[in-house]
Amino acid sequence: MPDGHAHAAPLDAHGHPHEPAHPKLQHHFDDMGQRAEASTLGMWVFLVTEILFFGGLFMCYLVYRWKSPSGFQEASFELNRVWGATNTAVLIISSLTMALAVRAAQTSAKRGTQVFFLGLTMFFGLVFLGIKAIEYTDKFVHHHVPGPHFHWDGQYPKPAEQFYSLYFAMTGLHAVHMIVGVGIMAVITWMAWRETFDEDYYTPVEVAGLYWHFVDIVWIFLFPLLYLIGGHFKG
Amino acid sequence: MTEHHIAPRGMYYVVFLALIIGTGLTVAAAEVDLGALNNVLMLAIACAKALLVILFFMHLRWGTRLTWVVVGSGFFWLLIMFSLTMSDYMSRGWVEGTLR
Protein backbone atom coordinates (compact mmCIF):
# COMPACT_ATOMS: atom_id res chain seq x y z
CA MET A 1 0.00 0.00 0.00
CA PRO A 2 1.49 3.31 -1.09
CA ASP A 3 2.05 5.55 1.85
CA GLY A 4 2.27 9.04 0.43
CA HIS A 5 -0.13 10.57 2.92
CA ALA A 6 1.26 9.80 6.30
CA HIS A 7 -0.98 12.31 8.03
CA ALA A 8 -4.07 11.97 5.83
CA ALA A 9 -7.14 10.06 6.98
CA PRO A 10 -7.11 6.32 6.13
CA LEU A 11 -8.90 5.36 2.90
CA ASP A 12 -12.11 3.32 2.87
CA ALA A 13 -13.02 0.55 0.39
CA HIS A 14 -13.88 3.11 -2.30
CA GLY A 15 -10.63 4.99 -1.97
CA HIS A 16 -12.24 7.94 -0.16
CA PRO A 17 -10.73 9.29 2.99
CA HIS A 18 -12.36 7.56 5.93
CA GLU A 19 -13.48 10.12 8.42
CA PRO A 20 -13.59 9.14 12.06
CA ALA A 21 -17.07 8.02 13.06
CA HIS A 22 -19.35 10.52 14.79
CA PRO A 23 -19.71 9.67 18.49
CA LYS A 24 -23.50 9.38 18.04
CA LEU A 25 -23.24 6.99 15.07
CA GLN A 26 -24.62 3.56 15.94
CA HIS A 27 -22.62 0.72 14.42
CA HIS A 28 -25.39 -0.58 12.16
CA PHE A 29 -25.35 2.64 10.10
CA ASP A 30 -22.73 3.61 7.51
CA ASP A 31 -22.80 7.29 8.38
CA MET A 32 -24.87 10.00 10.05
CA GLY A 33 -26.66 10.80 6.80
CA GLN A 34 -27.91 7.25 6.46
CA ARG A 35 -28.96 7.30 10.08
CA ALA A 36 -31.00 10.48 9.62
CA GLU A 37 -32.54 9.13 6.42
CA ALA A 38 -33.64 5.91 8.12
CA SER A 39 -35.36 7.91 10.86
CA THR A 40 -37.17 10.34 8.57
CA LEU A 41 -38.27 7.53 6.26
CA GLY A 42 -39.59 5.58 9.25
CA MET A 43 -41.54 8.66 10.38
CA TRP A 44 -43.02 9.07 6.90
CA VAL A 45 -44.15 5.42 6.93
CA PHE A 46 -45.91 6.12 10.25
CA LEU A 47 -47.47 9.28 8.79
CA VAL A 48 -48.81 7.24 5.85
CA THR A 49 -50.67 5.05 8.35
CA GLU A 50 -51.93 8.28 9.96
CA ILE A 51 -53.18 9.54 6.58
CA LEU A 52 -55.30 6.41 6.31
CA PHE A 53 -56.31 6.60 9.99
CA PHE A 54 -57.78 10.08 9.51
CA GLY A 55 -58.78 9.02 5.99
CA GLY A 56 -61.39 6.64 7.42
CA LEU A 57 -63.11 9.58 9.14
CA PHE A 58 -62.89 11.73 6.01
CA MET A 59 -64.43 8.82 4.09
CA CYS A 60 -67.30 8.68 6.59
CA TYR A 61 -67.76 12.46 6.27
CA LEU A 62 -67.86 12.17 2.48
CA VAL A 63 -70.57 9.49 2.50
CA TYR A 64 -72.86 11.26 4.99
CA ARG A 65 -72.42 14.66 3.40
CA TRP A 66 -73.20 13.14 0.02
CA LYS A 67 -76.40 11.67 1.53
CA SER A 68 -77.57 14.93 3.14
CA PRO A 69 -75.79 17.97 1.66
CA SER A 70 -78.37 20.53 2.86
CA GLY A 71 -78.36 19.17 6.41
CA PHE A 72 -74.57 19.39 6.55
CA GLN A 73 -74.65 22.98 5.26
CA GLU A 74 -77.21 23.95 7.89
CA ALA A 75 -75.19 22.28 10.65
CA SER A 76 -71.89 23.79 9.47
CA PHE A 77 -73.48 27.26 9.55
CA GLU A 78 -73.72 27.00 13.35
CA LEU A 79 -69.96 26.59 13.78
CA ASN A 80 -68.01 29.73 14.60
CA ARG A 81 -65.94 30.54 11.52
CA VAL A 82 -63.95 33.22 13.30
CA TRP A 83 -62.63 30.72 15.86
CA GLY A 84 -62.01 28.19 13.09
CA ALA A 85 -60.05 30.63 10.94
CA THR A 86 -58.13 31.91 13.97
CA ASN A 87 -57.14 28.37 14.88
CA THR A 88 -56.03 27.71 11.29
CA ALA A 89 -53.76 30.75 11.47
CA VAL A 90 -52.50 29.71 14.93
CA LEU A 91 -51.52 26.27 13.62
CA ILE A 92 -49.82 27.74 10.54
CA ILE A 93 -47.80 30.07 12.80
CA SER A 94 -46.85 27.06 14.97
CA SER A 95 -45.73 25.22 11.83
CA LEU A 96 -43.52 28.18 10.94
CA THR A 97 -41.92 28.25 14.40
CA MET A 98 -41.50 24.46 14.18
CA ALA A 99 -39.71 24.76 10.83
CA LEU A 100 -37.51 27.51 12.26
CA ALA A 101 -36.72 25.30 15.29
CA VAL A 102 -35.53 22.54 12.94
CA ARG A 103 -33.48 25.10 11.02
CA ALA A 104 -31.96 26.38 14.27
CA ALA A 105 -30.80 22.84 15.08
CA GLN A 106 -29.54 22.30 11.51
CA THR A 107 -27.40 25.42 11.73
CA SER A 108 -26.06 24.60 15.22
CA ALA A 109 -27.78 27.69 16.63
CA LYS A 110 -27.41 28.43 20.34
CA ARG A 111 -29.61 26.30 22.59
CA GLY A 112 -31.49 29.46 23.57
CA THR A 113 -32.62 29.94 19.96
CA GLN A 114 -33.67 26.29 19.61
CA VAL A 115 -35.56 26.33 22.90
CA PHE A 116 -37.19 29.67 21.95
CA PHE A 117 -38.70 28.33 18.72
CA LEU A 118 -39.71 25.02 20.30
CA GLY A 119 -41.32 26.89 23.18
CA LEU A 120 -43.26 29.10 20.75
CA THR A 121 -44.44 25.98 18.90
CA MET A 122 -45.76 24.48 22.15
CA PHE A 123 -47.34 27.82 23.11
CA PHE A 124 -49.29 28.08 19.84
CA GLY A 125 -50.27 24.41 20.16
CA LEU A 126 -51.75 25.20 23.57
CA VAL A 127 -53.50 28.31 22.20
CA PHE A 128 -55.10 26.08 19.58
CA LEU A 129 -56.29 23.64 22.26
CA GLY A 130 -57.61 26.52 24.38
CA ILE A 131 -59.69 27.88 21.51
CA LYS A 132 -60.91 24.36 20.82
CA ALA A 133 -62.01 24.09 24.47
CA ILE A 134 -63.99 27.36 24.15
CA GLU A 135 -65.71 26.01 21.03
CA TYR A 136 -66.51 22.64 22.64
CA THR A 137 -67.97 24.42 25.70
CA ASP A 138 -70.19 26.46 23.41
CA LYS A 139 -71.46 23.27 21.75
CA PHE A 140 -72.30 21.73 25.13
CA VAL A 141 -74.11 24.91 26.24
CA HIS A 142 -76.24 24.95 23.07
CA HIS A 143 -76.97 21.19 23.18
CA HIS A 144 -75.23 20.58 19.88
CA VAL A 145 -73.40 17.55 21.26
CA PRO A 146 -74.80 14.31 19.77
CA GLY A 147 -76.62 12.12 22.26
CA PRO A 148 -79.84 12.16 24.32
CA HIS A 149 -79.56 15.92 24.95
CA PHE A 150 -78.96 16.90 21.33
CA HIS A 151 -81.33 19.65 20.30
CA TRP A 152 -81.63 21.19 16.84
CA ASP A 153 -83.97 24.02 15.86
CA GLY A 154 -83.24 23.82 12.13
CA GLN A 155 -84.84 21.96 9.28
CA TYR A 156 -82.58 18.89 9.36
CA PRO A 157 -82.06 17.61 12.95
CA LYS A 158 -80.91 14.10 11.96
CA PRO A 159 -78.18 15.10 9.47
CA ALA A 160 -77.14 17.86 11.89
CA GLU A 161 -76.58 15.26 14.60
CA GLN A 162 -74.57 13.15 12.14
CA PHE A 163 -72.55 16.25 11.23
CA TYR A 164 -71.79 16.99 14.87
CA SER A 165 -70.87 13.34 15.55
CA LEU A 166 -68.29 13.66 12.79
CA TYR A 167 -67.26 17.12 13.99
CA PHE A 168 -66.45 15.80 17.46
CA ALA A 169 -64.82 12.59 16.18
CA MET A 170 -62.59 14.39 13.66
CA THR A 171 -61.64 17.46 15.70
CA GLY A 172 -61.39 15.24 18.81
CA LEU A 173 -58.92 12.86 17.18
CA HIS A 174 -57.06 15.88 15.85
CA ALA A 175 -56.97 17.45 19.34
CA VAL A 176 -55.59 14.20 20.80
CA HIS A 177 -52.82 14.41 18.20
CA MET A 178 -52.17 18.01 19.27
CA ILE A 179 -51.91 17.00 22.93
CA VAL A 180 -49.47 14.22 22.00
CA GLY A 181 -47.58 16.72 19.84
CA VAL A 182 -47.18 19.18 22.72
CA GLY A 183 -45.90 16.30 24.88
CA ILE A 184 -43.36 15.33 22.22
CA MET A 185 -42.27 18.97 21.92
CA ALA A 186 -41.74 19.14 25.69
CA VAL A 187 -39.27 16.23 25.45
CA ILE A 188 -37.57 17.75 22.38
CA THR A 189 -37.28 21.11 24.17
CA TRP A 190 -35.66 19.41 27.14
CA MET A 191 -33.20 17.67 24.79
CA ALA A 192 -32.44 20.98 23.07
CA TRP A 193 -31.85 22.61 26.47
CA ARG A 194 -29.28 19.87 27.17
CA GLU A 195 -27.54 20.85 23.90
CA THR A 196 -28.29 17.56 22.16
CA PHE A 197 -28.72 19.00 18.69
CA ASP A 198 -26.27 20.44 16.19
CA GLU A 199 -25.62 20.32 12.44
CA ASP A 200 -24.45 16.68 12.67
CA TYR A 201 -27.34 15.39 14.73
CA TYR A 202 -30.80 16.93 14.72
CA THR A 203 -32.94 13.95 13.72
CA PRO A 204 -35.31 14.07 16.75
CA VAL A 205 -36.24 17.72 16.02
CA GLU A 206 -36.70 16.96 12.33
CA VAL A 207 -38.85 13.86 12.99
CA ALA A 208 -40.96 15.59 15.66
CA GLY A 209 -41.38 18.43 13.16
CA LEU A 210 -42.72 16.01 10.53
CA TYR A 211 -45.38 14.91 13.02
CA TRP A 212 -46.29 18.49 13.93
CA HIS A 213 -46.64 19.57 10.30
CA PHE A 214 -48.76 16.50 9.55
CA VAL A 215 -51.22 17.45 12.30
CA ASP A 216 -51.32 20.95 10.78
CA ILE A 217 -52.16 19.47 7.36
CA VAL A 218 -55.09 17.51 8.83
CA TRP A 219 -56.51 20.79 10.18
CA ILE A 220 -55.97 22.49 6.80
CA PHE A 221 -58.57 20.06 5.44
CA LEU A 222 -60.81 19.94 8.52
CA PHE A 223 -61.30 23.72 8.60
CA PRO A 224 -62.99 24.21 5.20
CA LEU A 225 -64.84 20.87 5.33
CA LEU A 226 -66.38 21.49 8.76
CA TYR A 227 -66.63 25.27 9.17
CA LEU A 228 -67.10 26.71 5.71
CA ILE A 229 -69.59 24.56 3.79
CA GLY A 230 -72.48 26.59 5.22
CA GLY A 231 -70.84 29.92 4.45
CA HIS A 232 -73.49 31.14 2.05
CA PHE A 233 -76.30 29.00 3.50
CA LYS A 234 -78.39 31.82 4.90
CA GLY A 235 -76.69 34.68 3.09
CA MET B 1 -22.72 10.98 3.44
CA THR B 2 -26.06 12.37 2.34
CA GLU B 3 -25.86 16.14 2.21
CA HIS B 4 -28.62 17.86 4.11
CA HIS B 5 -30.09 20.87 2.51
CA ILE B 6 -30.55 23.85 4.78
CA ALA B 7 -33.19 26.13 3.33
CA PRO B 8 -32.76 29.89 3.72
CA ARG B 9 -34.88 31.44 6.46
CA GLY B 10 -36.62 33.67 3.92
CA MET B 11 -38.12 30.64 2.19
CA TYR B 12 -39.96 29.66 5.37
CA TYR B 13 -41.45 33.16 5.68
CA VAL B 14 -42.59 33.13 2.03
CA VAL B 15 -44.26 29.72 2.47
CA PHE B 16 -45.86 30.94 5.70
CA LEU B 17 -47.24 34.03 3.94
CA ALA B 18 -48.63 31.87 1.12
CA LEU B 19 -50.37 29.63 3.69
CA ILE B 20 -51.96 32.62 5.45
CA ILE B 21 -53.10 34.12 2.12
CA GLY B 22 -54.54 30.72 1.16
CA THR B 23 -56.51 30.63 4.42
CA GLY B 24 -57.84 34.14 3.76
CA LEU B 25 -58.88 33.17 0.24
CA THR B 26 -60.69 30.06 1.53
CA VAL B 27 -62.67 32.10 4.06
CA ALA B 28 -63.49 34.80 1.50
CA ALA B 29 -64.53 32.28 -1.17
CA ALA B 30 -66.89 30.53 1.25
CA GLU B 31 -68.98 33.73 1.54
CA VAL B 32 -69.69 33.81 -2.20
CA ASP B 33 -72.21 31.37 -3.65
CA LEU B 34 -70.46 29.63 -6.52
CA GLY B 35 -72.58 26.49 -6.44
CA ALA B 36 -70.59 23.29 -6.74
CA LEU B 37 -67.51 25.37 -7.49
CA ASN B 38 -67.31 26.36 -3.79
CA ASN B 39 -66.22 22.85 -2.85
CA VAL B 40 -63.81 22.53 -5.76
CA LEU B 41 -62.20 25.86 -4.86
CA MET B 42 -61.85 25.25 -1.10
CA LEU B 43 -60.42 21.76 -1.66
CA ALA B 44 -58.03 23.02 -4.36
CA ILE B 45 -56.71 25.69 -1.98
CA ALA B 46 -56.45 23.14 0.87
CA CYS B 47 -54.49 20.76 -1.40
CA ALA B 48 -52.17 23.58 -2.47
CA LYS B 49 -51.57 24.52 1.18
CA ALA B 50 -50.93 20.88 2.14
CA LEU B 51 -48.49 20.57 -0.78
CA LEU B 52 -46.58 23.66 0.37
CA VAL B 53 -46.30 22.27 3.91
CA ILE B 54 -45.18 18.84 2.68
CA LEU B 55 -42.65 20.12 0.14
CA PHE B 56 -41.03 22.91 2.15
CA PHE B 57 -41.82 22.64 5.86
CA MET B 58 -41.48 18.85 5.81
CA HIS B 59 -38.49 19.04 3.44
CA LEU B 60 -39.85 16.50 0.96
CA ARG B 61 -38.51 18.68 -1.86
CA TRP B 62 -35.02 17.59 -0.78
CA GLY B 63 -36.06 14.06 0.20
CA THR B 64 -34.87 10.87 -1.41
CA ARG B 65 -36.85 9.18 -4.18
CA LEU B 66 -37.79 6.43 -1.73
CA THR B 67 -39.42 9.01 0.55
CA TRP B 68 -41.38 10.40 -2.42
CA VAL B 69 -42.68 6.92 -3.21
CA VAL B 70 -43.72 6.31 0.43
CA VAL B 71 -45.54 9.67 0.68
CA GLY B 72 -47.16 9.20 -2.72
CA SER B 73 -48.37 5.73 -1.79
CA GLY B 74 -50.19 7.13 1.26
CA PHE B 75 -52.26 9.54 -0.82
CA PHE B 76 -52.69 6.96 -3.58
CA TRP B 77 -54.25 4.49 -1.13
CA LEU B 78 -56.45 7.27 0.25
CA LEU B 79 -57.73 7.93 -3.28
CA ILE B 80 -58.42 4.22 -3.78
CA MET B 81 -60.47 4.20 -0.57
CA PHE B 82 -62.48 7.29 -1.58
CA SER B 83 -63.09 6.25 -5.17
CA LEU B 84 -64.02 2.62 -4.56
CA THR B 85 -66.31 3.45 -1.64
CA MET B 86 -68.07 6.29 -3.44
CA SER B 87 -68.45 4.25 -6.63
CA ASP B 88 -70.35 1.75 -4.50
CA TYR B 89 -72.62 4.30 -2.76
CA MET B 90 -73.28 6.36 -5.88
CA SER B 91 -74.11 3.41 -8.14
CA ARG B 92 -76.56 1.75 -5.75
CA GLY B 93 -79.99 1.28 -7.25
CA TRP B 94 -78.78 1.80 -10.81
CA VAL B 95 -79.87 -1.73 -11.61
CA GLU B 96 -83.54 -2.29 -10.84
CA GLY B 97 -84.23 -4.59 -7.92
CA THR B 98 -80.80 -4.20 -6.34
CA LEU B 99 -80.03 -2.81 -2.90
CA ARG B 100 -80.41 0.93 -2.47
Give domain limits for chain B.
Answer: 1-63, 64-94
Provide the whole-model pTM.
0.90
Q: Which amino acid is residue A65, in one-letter code?
A: R
State phi, psi for B42 to the nearest 5 degrees.
-65, -35
Write out pLDDT tens, residues A17-32: 666 677 777 777 888 7
What pLDDT, in 10s, does the model give residues B27-56? 999 888 888 889 999 999 999 999 999 999
Give which of A53, A16, A18, A31 is closest to A203, Cα–Cα.
Answer: A31
d(CA A74, CA A159): 9
Q: Between chains, do B38 and A221 touch, taking CB under 8 Å as contact? A: no
- Among A36-40, A69-73, A102-106, B57-61, the minimum mean pLDDT is found in A36-40
From chain A, the residues in CB contact with B62 under 8 A are: none
Q: Is A34 on the interface with B (CB under 8 A)?
A: yes
Q: How confident is the model at residue B1 (pLDDT cuts 50, 70, 90)?
A: very low
User: How big, in percent rounded to 5, are the helix, strand and coil portions of chain B?
Assistant: 75, 0, 25
Q: What is the mean pLDDT of residues A131-152?
A: 96
What is the rounded distance in angstroms from the CA atom of residue A206 to the CA atom of residue A39?
9
* % of chain A beyond a pLDDT of 90: 80
Cβ separation A89–B45 shorter than 8 A: no
B62 inside 8 A of chain A by CB = no
Q: Which CATH class, in words, describes the domain spanning A32-227?
A: mainly alpha
| Confidence class for position A37, pLDDT limits 50, 70, 90 | confident
**Domain extent listing, chain A:** 32-227
Using alpha carbons, list the distances in angstroms from residue B80 to B74, B87, B98. Answer: 10, 10, 24
Q: What is the mean pLDDT of residues A57-73?
A: 95
Question: Which residues in chain A have Cβ-Cβ distances shorter than 8 Å to B90?
Answer: 66
